[in-house]
Structure 1
Amino acid sequence: MQLHTPTLLVTLLLGFALLTLELGVAQRGLRARPELRRWNLGNWAMLAGFAMLFARVLMPEWLSLVLGNGLIALGLIAYVQALHRLLREAAPPRWTRRIQPALWLGLALLVFWPQSLRTAAVSLLFAGLLAPAVWLVLRHGWRDERSLRTVGVTLGLAMLALGVRAVHALGVPEDYQSVMQPSLGQGATFMMAFLALLGSGFAFQLAVFERVAQQMEHLASHDGLTGCLNRSTTDALLAHELRRARRERQAGGPAGRPLAFVLLDLDHFKQVNDRHGHRTGDAVLQAFVAIAKQRLRGSDALGRTGGEEFGLVLPGTDADGARVLLESIRQAVAAAPLATDESGRPVQVTVSAGIAVAPGDAGISADRLYGRADQALYEAKHGGRNRVEVYGDSNPVQAALPLNT
């Protein structure tokens, strides 16, 4: 049984043309995805490389081999660069550019080798160029999008097929007397290697779309500046925790755990923006969130409920536990500068906090609990700022509260 190599080349040309067209359409909706553009550049290089190999009937064979294999190698390098951008979110490694002159020189020298040795060397070169891509997926992407696993597996299969092709070319050199020679071994390994690359391209496109969907979902529920939850998600989470406690009581379980809700507000934050600029103010907000998150448990949730106001949902936390936590955050914020302005001056702020606790056996609503925390925060502000107040610990400053309970 023999496989007709020219037919395989035409088939692969059509396959990569289809993938290139599909990625081109996808890029219209994802203009800011450099990894998708880079992979598509790799597809164009692969298309051009196959076309050069097929065009040997129109140009000198040595030129066809150098251009064809060189362009295919550039396509593989582009795949590595695309994966690096996706998984490391950084510019492609320098070696992907520095290796290119040596690559072209090596391919030019290989034209003087016997066809079987040249086939083995080029196959090992291609497999070596794919190795960093497989390593990137295994090291940085295996636990991310599921489709990235498919990328890694298909690239690994392409490496395996190229390795088998190299071994077969050395063991059965009579099957590799010409690039276009019909041969089962040559045709099968060639087909498997580049069909696997085709599959990795479709899987990579799916991985990019999965990541975009995850990022959009994250943006819908998180604050873009600080990375914590946004106001609507914080409110929904607070209501959810209260409903869960109510269901536990109705199911005949224990009285239920208390739930603490905290409102925090950076003191005189407007002055930070006025004196040091909004970029410095943004840095202060980010530093504050980092300090707070370092002291939270996995079940706690921090959300940005306003410009410099934050909400903290603390399941299973009573008033004493919440006070200890908030005192720790307050002292850490006041102890060190949270940022420096453009002239290098340190910027220090303080934070005030109001705590409200829903006992495990109470049927308080989320709005009512929020209002109590807001009243406690109001008391902390009017009591001198840079302090923590618990609703009900002292005579609270009267403030309007929601009517529903």
Structure 2
Amino acid sequence: MTLHIPTLMLALLLGFLLLTLELGVALRRLHNRPELRSWTWGCWALFAGFAMLAARVVVPVWLSIVLGNGLICLGILMYTRALYRMLLDAPLPRWLIAAFGTSVLGIVVMLSWPMHQRTAIVSMFFVVLLVPAVAIVVRHGWSAERSLRTVAVTMGLAAVALGVRAVHAWLNPGDYTDLLQASLGQGLTFLMSFLSIMGAGFAFVLAVFERVALQMEKLATHDGLTGCLNRSTIDAMLSHALERGRRDRSPVSFVLLDLDHFKLVNDQHGHRTGDAVLRAFARTVRERLRASDVFGRTGGEEFGVVLPGTDASGARRLLEQVRGAVEAMQVRDTIGHPVRITVSAGLAVADPASPISGDRLYGRADRALYEAKHGGRNRVETYSGAESGFFAQEKAPAGAKVPQ
């Protein structure tokens, strides 16, 4: 039994052309995806490489060997580059670029070698370029998009098949007297190697679409500037926490945090500095929360925190830590001037025996925040249910603006 190599070559050419066309359609839909662009260039390089190998009947053999194998090396390198961009947002390491250059130089040096020896060494060059792609997915992408696991498995199979091809060529020189020679060993290893690489390409496209879908889902639930949950999501999480608190008979604390005099930061230091302050503030708060706590941006410079299973005294201890940490934050503007910021907090606690709604608890925290602002800012106030003093503002007209 033998495999007809020219037929295999034609099938691979058509397969990589189909994959490249699919990637072209994907690029039209997904703008600014450098990893997808790199993989597309890799497909074009592989397509051109196989075309050059098949064209040795009409072009000089030495040119077919150098360009064909060199372009295949380049295609594999571009695949690895795409994975580095996707998983690490980093360029290729220099040693891998050096390995590619060494491989091309080795192909030129081996032009006069016997076919079976050249096939064995070039196959190992391909393996050396494939292994880093598998390794980076296993180390950094195995728990990310599931389709990336298929990329790692198929590229790993390609590396194994190429390794088997190298050993088989070295031990069976009679099967490797010509690239187009009909041979079961040569044909089977050739087919398995590059079909696996082609399969990795289709899996990579799925992984990119999977990542885009997750990013769109995150954009729908998170604030783009700070990475916190957005207002609608935190409202839903607060309602869920209240329901669970009633089932577990545990209190739920809700906090509104508002940066003091934040408008002055934007006016005096610029909006870019204001954005930096918001990001630093979000990071400072997040570092002090538990995994079960919920932190979101409710609008502008105001943030909300849901603290399940936390009573008033526990919430106040946390908020005092947050207040002190925010006061000590080190943020500088675009010309290096320090920017000092403080935060006011309004706290409201839901008793598990009380059927209070999320909106009503939010209103209580808002009134406590109002008192913290009028009481001098940079402080924590707890809703007490009193109607005297500033809590009487509950009767003020709707839409009254909280002082900054």
* Of 384, 400, 405, the match for 2:394: 400
1:250-277 deviations in whole A, cap 9, x for unaligned? xxxx5x1100000000000000001111
After TM superposition, give the deviation of residue 94 of structure 1 in Å.
Answer: 3.2
* Contact 1:154–1:199 (Cα < 8 Å) also in 2: yes
Code of the residue aligned with 1:400 in structure 2: it is E
Q: Does 1:312 align with 2:311?
A: no
Shift of 1:90: 2.1
1:109 Cα deviation (Å)? 1.0
Query: SS where residue 304 of structure 2 aligns?
Result: strand
Kept in 2, the 8 Å contact 1:375–1:396? The answer is no
Choose which of 276, 281, 294 in structure 1 pairs with 2:274: 281
| 1:231 and 2:223 are equivalent in the alignment | no
Cα distance in 2 for partners of 1:168, 1:317 equals: 67
Q: Sequence identity, in percent?
A: 63
SS at match of 2:188: helix
Letter in 1 for 2:335: S
Q: Residue 365 of structure 1 aligns to which amino acid in structure 2?
A: S
Distance 2:324 2:10 in 1: 70
Q: Is the 8 A contact 1:376 1:396 kept in 2?
A: no
Counterpart Cα distance in 2 of 1:396 and 1:257:
30
**For 1:14-70, what per-residue CA distance to the aligned partner results, in whole angstroms no more than 9, with x for missing partners?**
110110011110110002111001001000000000000010011111111111000
After superposition, residues 169-188 of structure 1 pair within 5 angstroms as 169-188=169-188
Match of 1:120 in 2: 120
Are residues 1:349 and 2:338 paired? Answer: no
Q: CA deviation at 1:242?
A: 1.7
Amino acid at match of 2:155: L
- Given residue 289 of structure 2, which amino acid in structure 1 is its aligned partner? L
CA distance in 2, matches of 1:219, 1:336: 27
- Give the letter aligned to residue 245 of structure 2: A
- Assess if the C-alpha contact under 8 Å between 1:42 and 1:75 holds in 2: yes
Decide whether the 8 Å contact of 2:151 with 2:201 is kept in 1: yes
Shift in CA distance, 198/51, structure 1 to aligned 2, threshold 3 Å: same
Divergent runs of 4+, >6 A: none
DSSP-derived class of the 2:132 partner:
helix
Give the aligned residue type for 1:73. C
How far apart in 2 are the matches of 1:380 and 1:92? 53
Whether the 8 Å CA contact 2:255–2:365 is kept in 1: the answer is: yes
Aligned residue for 1:192, secondary structure, equals helix
Structure 1 counterpart of 2:65: 65
Whether 1:378 and 2:366 are equivalent positions in the alignment is no
* Contact in 1 for aligned 2:245/2:352 (Cα 8 Å): yes
Which position in structure 1 is the counterpart of 2:138? 138
RMSD: 1.5
Structure 1 unaligned spans of 5+? 249-253
Q: Which residue of 2 aligns with 1:89?
A: 89
- SS of aligned partner of 2:258: strand
The question of whether the paired residues in 1 share the 8 Å contact of 2:100 and 2:129 is answered with no
Superimposed CA distance per residue, residues 72-105 of structure 1 (whole angstroms, 9 cap, x where no aligned partner): 0000000000000011012333344444443332
Aligned length: 395
3-state SS of paired residue (1:180)? coil
Matches of 2:366 and 2:125, distance apart in 1: 66
Query: Does the CA-based 8 Å contact 1:326-1:353 persist in structure 2?
Result: yes
**Residue type at the aligned position of 2:354:** A
Q: Is the 8 A contact 2:116 2:176 kept in 1?
A: yes
Counterpart of 2:332?
A: 340
Q: CA offsets per residue over residues 131-179 of structure 1, 9 Å max, x none? A: 1101101110011111111100000000000000000011111100111
Alignment-derived partner of residue 51 in structure 1: 51
1:366 partnered with 2:353: no
Letter in 2 for 1:196: S
Q: What runs of 5+ residues in structure 2 fail to find an aligned partner?
A: 399-404
Q: Tell me if structure 1 keeps the 8 A contact 2:84–2:92.
A: yes
CA distance in 2, matches of 1:235, 1:400: 21
User: Aligned with 2:117: secondary structure?
Assistant: helix
Q: Is the 8 A contact 2:295 2:305 kept in 1?
A: yes
**TM-score normalized by the length of structure 1:** 0.95
* 3-state SS in 1 of match to 2:345: strand
Say if 1:192 and 1:400 are closer, same or farther in 2 by CA, change over 3 A: same
Structure 2 match to 1:25: 25
Match in the other structure for 2:402: none
